Chains A and B, each alone.
Chain A
Amino acid sequence: MEGTPHYLHAGFILISTSNLVVIALLLIVFAAAVWLRLPGGHPSPTVDDTGDVPPEQEVTR
């Protein structure tokens, strides 16, 4: 990374390749984070006749 720096010039925008990579990574990771789901967790709860979540699956201390 200590070699000749590379830059991209588009109109009035001038950005280093490394900064562009970081910004692209930020956007990609952001998109992935809101889109993907973490593995694990319980399946959807059984909904009873009243439409409530059974107490044993609610948030407890």
Chain B
Amino acid sequence: MNLTTRTREWVRTWMPLEDMLPDQLPAFVRSPAYLFGVVGLSGLALLIVSGLVLAFFGPQWWHDSSIGRFVNSVHFWSAQAFFFAITLHLWTEFCKGAWRHGRRPTWVVGAITFVVAIGTAFTGYLSQTNFDAQWIAVQGKDAMNAIGIGSFFNLMNFGQMYGFHIVLFPLLVVLLVLGHVLQVRVRGVVRPYARSVKEEQAREEEWGGAIGPGWSPWTAWLGPRNRTERPVASDHVAYYRGLRSMPYDLLREGLIALLAATVFALVFAGLFSSPDDPPLTIQAYAQQDPVSFLKTSLAELAGTSTIAQYGPPYNGQSGSVQSLGPVSLQTLAGITIPLDTAQAYVLQPLTVSADTDPSLTTVLQQFASATDEQRVAWEKAYAGALDKTTVQNGTVVVPGATDGPLPAMMGRLLVLGRNGALDGLLVRSGGFYQANFTKPLLFLSEDALPARAENDHLLGTQWGMMNETGNYPGQAWLWLYTFWYQIPPYSTSPNADALVWGTIAVLTLALIVLPFIPYLNRLPYHLGVHRLIWREDDRHPSRSSERSGPTS
């Protein structure tokens, strides 16, 4: 058969224009519970438009220009509207048992869209190029490393995250949403639950195929299938037989939703702007807290810092290695972002600086030629001196000690930190363009970023994963994912990230395949919220005079 003819007939059968753009819908859709999908679509449209403008002008624009800041704020509030709407869409569709009568793929695609949208928002937060982005990157890296993907999905690599956020994830979301909307239009919205379980099961078998326990389709898949006896899924007339219809203007509804979402985003952006705390620099850290800067630098040199002891993907240590039972995906992934903290944070920057300071070359040679025991002794003595260090009128006064070349080395490093040179030296990669901030962010993650994050209630122990800087709303819809960190055994386990991600993976999978899980997939019927969404007249128009509730 002609491929073009077959395609045309397939489209004609499954996607007739009358179903794609209907002007009549079943009367039971006369509930606000049917509006969240279209509001979510409106939020997505605003996100795309504002995101295109932001991408066009680039990251500096949304910080430096008032118009850029406003567009960035519109993007922020559009994201709030989008997630608000799709969270409610998810809740209401669950209450309707929207996967019934052959609509399991529609639910699966919708749930995957929700998960991918969270990934899109996450990379968006990482792309803000502000303090929030810094903190989320260094906090989130532990979770990525714990499941072995920290080097493939490096949250501290701004270039990679920005690419994910403006191209890959949005493309995926848009494709999934298009597929989801198409699925909804092909089959139409699901009918209200039948009056009795028996009647509902009969309808499920007619439209969704043979059923098993809990209306699960597993047995249908294992047993023989006889599709020819089932009606065409896109036959709306047959599916809605016996139900009242009402005139409906889908496009008008969509335009009104888009207008409302636009007004919301513009007004909130104008009134409240958006969170944009300036990023923390090593320069600011060294200027504001020089003693902490020196202590952190010394720990990097001595190999006693958190990062120096971290383990894969940075080194072969085991200080932050996590596992799920006997399996450590972090260890299996290996050392893919090798980082020698002594070289990266102290010796290499000082070597560069020594080009213009011959005296520094001498002390570096003294340090390099010393034995390991001698270096440890110097480092211990210098650490003791730092504990007694004072800052007088901006001058750091380190008491004398038998610490060899370290005062000269660390004194020079502090100068590099205070004049901003270290910020630049740590992102050097041999080329000209830089977009990977792994090294400076890891350095700041030792002490400076956590101290500032604590003030903003962003620490994990402060339920910080849901919080935003200032009084802005954070990611409230992530509570199911984040609250695990707050309760034992997760909150007390050294494998917290691996455990939480294992739990989240199971929960996410359960959400996606919910229609296939026996008994759980009939939970909405027993919850009974559907009786509020679908009133008696809509569910059983032919028996409206009886006014009796459904039985199970």
Query: Interface residues, chain A, CB within 8 Å of chain B?
Result: 1-7, 12-19, 21-23, 25-26, 29-30, 32-38, 40-42, 44-45, 47, 51-53, 57-61
Q: Is B52 an interface residue (CB 8 A)?
A: no
Q: List 29 A-B contacts (CB under 8 A).
A: A1-B272, A1-B275, A3-B471, A5-B470, A5-B471, A16-B467, A16-B471, A16-B474, A18-B473, A30-B88, A33-B88, A34-B92, A35-B532, A36-B32, A41-B30, A45-B244, A51-B543, A53-B242, A53-B243, A53-B244, A53-B541, A53-B542, A58-B244, A59-B237, A59-B240, A59-B243, A61-B16, A61-B19, A61-B24
Contact A18 to B472, CB < 8 A, known contacts A1-B272, A37-B31, A41-B30: yes
- Taking the closest CB of chain B, its distance from the CB of A34, in whole angstroms, is 4
Q: List residues 183-197 of chain B with CB under 8 A from any CB of chain A.
A: none
Candidate in A23, A51, A52, A61 with the most chain B CB atoms within 10 angstroms:
A61
Contact A58 to B242, CB < 8 A, known contacts A29-B88, A30-B92: yes
Instruction: Tell whether, in the assembled complex, residue B84 and residue A38 are in contact, meaning their CB atoms are under 8 Å apart.
Output: no
Number of residues from B at the complex interface, CB < 8 A:
61
Instruction: Tell whether, in the assembled complex, residue A18 and residue B471 are in contact, meaning their CB atoms are under 8 Å apart.
Output: yes
Q: Which residue of B lies closest to A3 (CB)?
A: B471
Question: Which among A18, A30, A36, A52 is the interface contact of B31 at CB below 8 angstroms?
Answer: A36
Query: When chains A and B are docked, how far (Å) is the Cα of A35 from the Cα of B242?
Result: 24
Q: Is B533 an interface residue (CB 8 A)?
A: yes
Beyond contacts A1-B272, A3-B471, A6-B471: 4 other A-B pairs, Cβ-Cβ < 8 A, are A4-B471, A26-B477, A33-B31, A60-B245
Instruction: Tell whether, in the assembled complex, residue A22 and residue B476 are in contact, meaning their CB atoms are under 8 Å apart.
Output: yes
- Taking the closest CB of chain B, its distance from the CB of A58, in whole angstroms, is 6
Instruction: Tell whether, in the assembled complex, residue B476 and residue A14 are in contact, meaning their CB atoms are under 8 Å apart.
Output: no
Q: Is B387 an interface residue (CB 8 A)?
A: no
Q: Is B352 an interface residue (CB 8 A)?
A: no
Q: Is B221 an interface residue (CB 8 A)?
A: no
Interface Cβ pair total, 8 Å cutoff: 148
- Taking the closest CB of chain A, its distance from the CB of B100, in whole angstroms, is 17
Q: Is B324 an interface residue (CB 8 A)?
A: no
Q: Is B95 an interface residue (CB 8 A)?
A: yes
Question: Which among B87, B463, B471 is the interface contact of A13 at CB below 8 angstroms?
Answer: B463
Query: Interface residues, chain B, CB within 8 Å of chain A?
Result: 16, 18-19, 22, 24-27, 30-33, 35-36, 80, 84, 87-88, 91-92, 95, 236-237, 240-246, 272-273, 275, 456-457, 462-463, 466-474, 476-477, 479, 486-487, 529, 532-533, 535, 537, 541-545
Instruction: Tell whether, in the assembled complex, residue A33 and residue B33 are in contact, meaning their CB atoms are under 8 Å apart.
Output: yes
Instruction: Tell whether, in the assembled complex, residue B466 and residue A25 are in contact, meaning their CB atoms are under 8 Å apart.
Output: no
Contacts of B529 in A (CB 8 A): 34
Q: Which residue of A lies closest to B238 (CB)?
A: A59
Query: When chains A and B are docked, how far (Å) is the Cα of A45 from the Cα of B27?
Result: 11
Query: When chains A and B are docked, how far (Å) is the Cα of A15 from the Cα of B31?
Result: 32
Instruction: Tell whether, in the assembled complex, residue A41 and residue B88 are in contact, meaning their CB atoms are under 8 Å apart.
Output: no
Contacts of A60 in B (CB 8 A): 24, 237, 245
Query: When chains A and B are docked, how far (Å) is the Cα of A38 from the Cα of B466?
Result: 33
Contact A42 to B244, CB < 8 A, known contacts A7-B457, A34-B33, A61-B236: yes
Contact A52 to B242, CB < 8 A, known contacts A17-B471, A18-B471: yes
Query: When chains A and B are docked, how far (Å) is the Cα of A16 from the Cα of B60?
Result: 29
- Taking the closest CB of chain A, its distance from the CB of B188, in whole angstroms, is 9
Contacts of A23 in B (CB 8 A): 476, 479
- Taking the closest CB of chain A, its distance from the CB of B121, in whole angstroms, is 14
- Taking the closest CB of chain A, its distance from the CB of B398, in whole angstroms, is 36
Question: Which among B27, B36, B463 is the interface contact of A41 at CB below 8 angstroms?
Answer: B27
Instruction: Tell whether, in the assembled complex, residue A34 and residue B532 are in contact, meaning their CB atoms are under 8 Å apart.
Output: yes
Contacts of B84 in A (CB 8 A): 22, 25-26, 29
